[in-house]
Structures are given as structure tokens and as C-alpha cells.
Amino acid sequence: MTQRKVISFETIRVACKNCTLSQLCLPMGMSPEDVDRLDSIVKRSRPLHRGDHLFRSGERFRSLYVVKTGSVKTYTPSEEGGEQVLGFHLPGEIIGLDAIDQDAHACSAKVLETSAICEVPFQRFEELAASIPSLQHSMFRLLSKEIGHDAEMLLLLGKKNAEERLAAFLVSMSQRLSKRGLSPTDFYLSMSRHEIGNYLGLAVETVSRLFTRFQDEGLVKVDRKHVEILDLHSIETIAGAAQAAGSRKHSN
Amino acid sequence: MTQRKVISFETIRVACKNCTLSQLCLPMGMSPEDVDRLDSIVKRSRPLHRGDHLFRSGERFRSLYVVKTGSVKTYTPSEEGGEQVLGFHLPGEIIGLDAIDQDAHACSAKVLETSAICEVPFQRFEELAASIPSLQHSMFRLLSKEIGHDAEMLLLLGKKNAEERLAAFLVSMSQRLSKRGLSPTDFYLSMSRHEIGNYLGLAVETVSRLFTRFQDEGLVKVDRKHVEILDLHSIETIAGAAQAAGSRKHSN
DNA sequence: AACCCAGGTTGACATGCATCAAGGGTAAAT
DNA sequence: ATTTACCCTTGATGCATGTCAACCTGGGTT
């Protein structure tokens, strides 16, 4: 016992069964034994730093990645430095799902702040999923959830105006942080205004102006990346007001 | 032999193994025996007609649906009759994937023209997928493909202008019809201008004007729902010109 | 045949947001 | 401490596209 492995502390710290994210992540609904089996195929690396890539567009697909701490953005780079930000990923969220089909990454994933990432080799994962029904089910659900989330984004980009988009973004951040045990009304954004604008299909200037306006209206208090939500209810109302009176866009 | 079942003709006509879509659909890459197992859980109903619903938003999720012939649109209805069209589905395409996560349908699915639909009860399907690795893999791929497609739509809605959107829509239709053995340059659209506009985040009038403009420029010949593509190459160029010179929107 | 009506087209006008431009604050680098 | 470079903010202007309104057209109904 005195001779136990030096890595034991490390192991305890990161093992799936001890991970606070297990209810949000793949282990969701699995028996302790099965979680151990999953755990045995997960690779963990040293923390990554701002700007590091998990993978780049075009690379062969080998593994899914799960954010353990920190945050990651995914984006599709296009010629000339332009890009479309596809999403911001918080702890427990899985990255690389879109690569399964083509066996290659169509987007790139870049770390926004110092982050710990779990790597899940996909081939092994599939074998495991075939023998653990609840894991297969979790995976179907996670993929489905992503599709549902994308549908929300389509609605946002297709029907909502700038104000509604930023409000929806704030509500989403608030809810997701809250689920992770953080404050739903006081948080730091790890992405730039530019990245937010890109994600929401808006110009940086518009995002900036909206933050200012929301602040003037007493809805939030913003200081650079630090956001305090003062009136979450009003922001939720704005965010949900897609087809409400006054916004008759494409109303059939 | 004389006494064979009356439904035999019907059965032959629709069985997965005799279906021309099998390479686009779930049976992709499965052994003939496994296709039979899949076939045994698939339900087929009488043809549905324009306006019929496969399911409606809010209903309990029980089955996935696959278009066999015809076409279907999915959309999220919102209060006041407004809606966001999420997609148009051609033969071989699977509908209902976004409902797996919540165990309830978040969108509605409406038939655009007389269509034959296969119903796949999901619980049975999951059992089958766990015992047929290639089926599980197909399903992961199909879900992943949907996510990748959604990402393309996010780029379209977030970065492309009206002209690029409609061009992308035409290219998509052309490619998908072509894969199904139909002409890539001469086809009938089963959806209205309104539905196209809603899908692309544009007003009906804009869609109409663009069709006219494309026709004036000699790119297409349009007569109501009938579209002939005269210069597919140019349309592809327009569709792909997201970040090209001249369109500097959000160019970082 | 006359009517009806949803779907489509076209024109005139309005506006939300992108674009252009300039300046200020902050954090990392030296 | 100073420099540097990025990020953010704010103002002025223009344009693409939504909105409003009118009319056309073809298919179905009485």
C-alpha cells in the first residue's frame, strides 16, 4: 500500500466515476462497473492552453473530446481567414460528433482558456457502446440533443433579430453554467465579442452596442468579459420573443 | 404456392432488401440477413397525402420515420401560426432524430405530396442496433451526418446573403435528387416559395425576385414549381462564395 | 363559363444592421 | 515603466432585404 502508484492522485482526480460531470457526460445512467469500462478507454492529457487546437478541419477523425474544465470553441475555417463559429463548449459537452459520418473533421476546435480535455477513441467507444445498452442509448441521446440544439440555432439565425439573439445567448450561457453548479447570473465569458458576433451572425459592433443597451436598460452589468445578469426574467422574455407581436418577420 | 399470401406483392415492393434506397438508408453496409432483421421491425402504412402529419410537436417519441417516396417538411410551430422550417426530406432521409433526447418531438413533420413512409419503432431499433455493430455504426453516422448538415445550414444562415442562400438551396436539391437517380438539372419542387423562404431565412418576395433574377441571368428556367438548371456550375460558384471577395461580412 | 382563391410576382418604400472610421482601455511583452 | 497590440466602444453612413400593397395567374369549384 505504501508502494502505490505515484499517479494515484492524478487518477482519482480525473476518473469518470469521481468526475462531477458524470451526470452531464457520457456516464449518464451507467452502472459503476460500466463506468469503469468506459473510464479505461478514456485518455487524458496535460491541460491545454488558450489557442491550442484539439483538432483541425480536414484531419482524420479518431476520437471524440469532452471538455472537463475550461471551454472550447468549434468553427469552420474558410479560405481567407474567415470563419463561422459553430459553438462554445463547456464542461461535460462533447466535441467532434460531426466528424463521425465523414471520418474526418469538418470543423476545427480551439481552446478558449486553459482547459482539461478527455479524449475518447471512437473505435473503442463503439465496441463498448455495442456491449453496454445504456451507453449506446446515452450516445444516441447526446447526438440527438446536438441536433435539437442546432435546430434552436437555426431558428435563432433564421428568425430572430439582433437583440433576441444576444438575449438568447445570455440565457443559454446562464442555464448551462447553472447546470454546472456555477452562478446563473454572474460569470465570465471566455470568448471575445468578435466570436460572439460571429456565432450569432452579427457584427462585432452590433454585439457591443447591444451589451451597452442592455446595460443602459438595467438588464445586465457588463465589464469586459464579466457579465452580471440583473434581470434574467426580462432577458428570457426578449430571447423567446421570436414570433411575438411586433416581430412579424416570415409570420406566414 | 397458389395459396400464398395476398400481401406478398406489397411485401416484395417495400421490403428493405428490395428497396432502391437501401444504400442511402439505414441498411447501408449491412448483411442481407441483418437487413431482414431490420426489415422485420419496420412498419409500413398506406400512402400519406399532402398536409398529413407524421407527428406533431409535443407528441411522445416512439418511432423514427424514413421517407420512401415523396417528400416531407419538418418545422417548429410557434404560437400565432408562425413557424421555422427546419428541413425538406427526400426519399431515404430519416425524420425524428431530434426527438430521441427528450423522448418527445420538438418539431412537426408534414407531408408535402403523396408519400410513402417507413416507420421504425425506436425501442426495437435500439435493441437491434446493440446486436448489429454495422447498424449501430450506420446510426451513429446518420446522426453525425445530420449534425454536419445543420452546421452547413448555420453557416448559410449566419454568413451568406440571399443570393448565396437560394443558390445553395438549388445545389442541395440538385445533388440530393441526383443521388436518387433523378435529373440534377430538371425537377419539380414540392414546397412553396413561402416554405423555401422560411427555410432560408428570407421573405417570400425575396425568393421570388431571386428566381426571376437567376432566370434573367440565364442560370435557370423556372415555371412555378418546375425548375430547370441551365448553368449549374455558376450556381455552385454563387452558393460557395461565402467568404469570397466582395462579401466581407464578418470576415475577421 | 364565370368565379374564386391561394400562391406567386413585381414595385415602392422603410429600416435594421453591416460597414467604415476613429478613439480609448487593458493586458501582455519588452 | 513603456510599448505594443488587441479588443472594445461609439458615431456616421449606406445598403440589402424586409414590409406593404397591388396585381397576376392557374387550378379547382359551382
- Are the CB atoms for B54 and B93 separated by under 8 Å? no
A79 alpha-carbon distance from chain centroid: 25
- Are the CB atoms for B110 and B52 separated by under 8 Å? yes
Positions of chain C reached by protein Cβ under 7 A:
7-12, 16-21, 26-27
Residue A244: per-residue pLDDT:
40
Average confidence (pLDDT) over B187-204: 97
Name which of B100, B198, B250 is nearest A197 (Cβ-Cβ).
Answer: B250
Express each pLDDT in A153-176 by its tens digit: 999 999 999 999 999 999 999 999
Instruction: Please state, in angstroms and rounded to a whole number, the distance separating the CA atoms of residues B142 and A101.
Output: 7
Coil vs helix vs strand at A63: strand
Identify the CATH number of the domain defined by range A8-153.
2.60.120.10
Express each pLDDT in B47-86 by its tens digit: 899 999 999 999 999 999 999 999 999 999 876 657 899 9
Is the pLDDT reported for residue B250 higher than 80?
Answer: no
Average confidence (pLDDT) over A62-74: 96
Measured between CB atoms, does B106 come within 8 Å of chain A?
yes
Q: Where, residue-wise, is CATH 1.10.10.10 in chain A? A: 160-240
Residue A157: per-residue pLDDT:
96
Measured between CB atoms, does B142 come within 8 Å of chain A?
yes
Greater pLDDT, B251 or B42: B42
**Residues shown for chain A:** 252
Query: Is residue A9 within a helix (H) or strand (E), and if so which, with residue range?
Result: helix A8-14
| Contact between the CB of B225 and strand C at under 7 Å | yes
Measured between CB atoms, does B232 come within 8 Å of chain A?
no
Question: On the CB side of B194, how many CA atoms lie within 13 Å of its CA?
Answer: 7
B82/A129 CB distance under 8 A? no
Residue A47: per-residue pLDDT:
86
Instruction: Please state, in angstroms and rounded to a whole number, the distance separating the CA atoms of residues B190 and B69.
Output: 12
- Are the CB atoms for B179 and B65 separated by under 8 Å? no
Is the pLDDT reported for residue B34 higher than 70?
Answer: yes
Residue A45: per-residue pLDDT:
82
Instruction: Please state, in angstroms and rounded to a whole number, the distance separating the CA atoms of residues A59 and B27.
Output: 28
Multiple choice CATH, B160-240, 3.30.70.260, 3.40.250.10, 1.10.10.10, 3.10.150.10? 1.10.10.10
Lowest mean pLDDT among A49-53, A147-151, B170-174: A49-53
CA A51 / C1′ D3 distance in Å: 24
- Where does the pLDDT of residue B15 fall: very low under 50, low under 70, confident under 90, or very high at 90 and above? confident
Express each pLDDT in A95-130 by its tens digit: 999 999 999 999 999 999 999 999 999 999 999 999
Residue A135: per-residue pLDDT:
96
pLDDT > 90: percent of chain A: 80
Measured between CB atoms, does B182 come within 8 Å of chain A?
no
- Are the CB atoms for B131 and A175 separated by under 8 Å? no
End-to-end CA distance of chain A: 72
Q: Which residue of B has its CA nearest to A245?
A: B80
Q: Which residue of B has its CA nearest to A123?
A: B137
Residue B100: per-residue pLDDT:
98
Greater pLDDT, A22 or A252: A22
Express each pLDDT in B158-182 by its tens digit: 999 999 999 999 999 999 999 999 9
For A10, B97, B146, the CA distances from B94, given in Å and listed in that order, are: 44, 7, 9
Q: Where, residue-wise, is CATH 2.60.120.10 in chain A? A: 8-153
B243/A86 CB distance under 8 A? no
Residues of chain B (27-86) having a beta carbon less than 7 angstroms from strand C:
none
Query: Is residue B187 within a helix (H) or strand (E), and if so which, with residue range?
Result: strand B186-188
- Where does the pLDDT of residue A80 fall: very low under 50, low under 70, confident under 90, or very high at 90 and above? low
- Are the CB atoms for A133 and B130 separated by under 8 Å? yes
Burial of B100 (0-12, 13-18, 19+ CB in 10 A): buried
Q: Supply the mean pLDDT for chain A.
A: 89
Residue A1: per-residue pLDDT:
45
Measured between CB atoms, does B197 come within 8 Å of chain A?
yes
B147/A147 CB distance under 8 A? yes
Is the pLDDT reported for residue B104 higher than 60?
Answer: yes
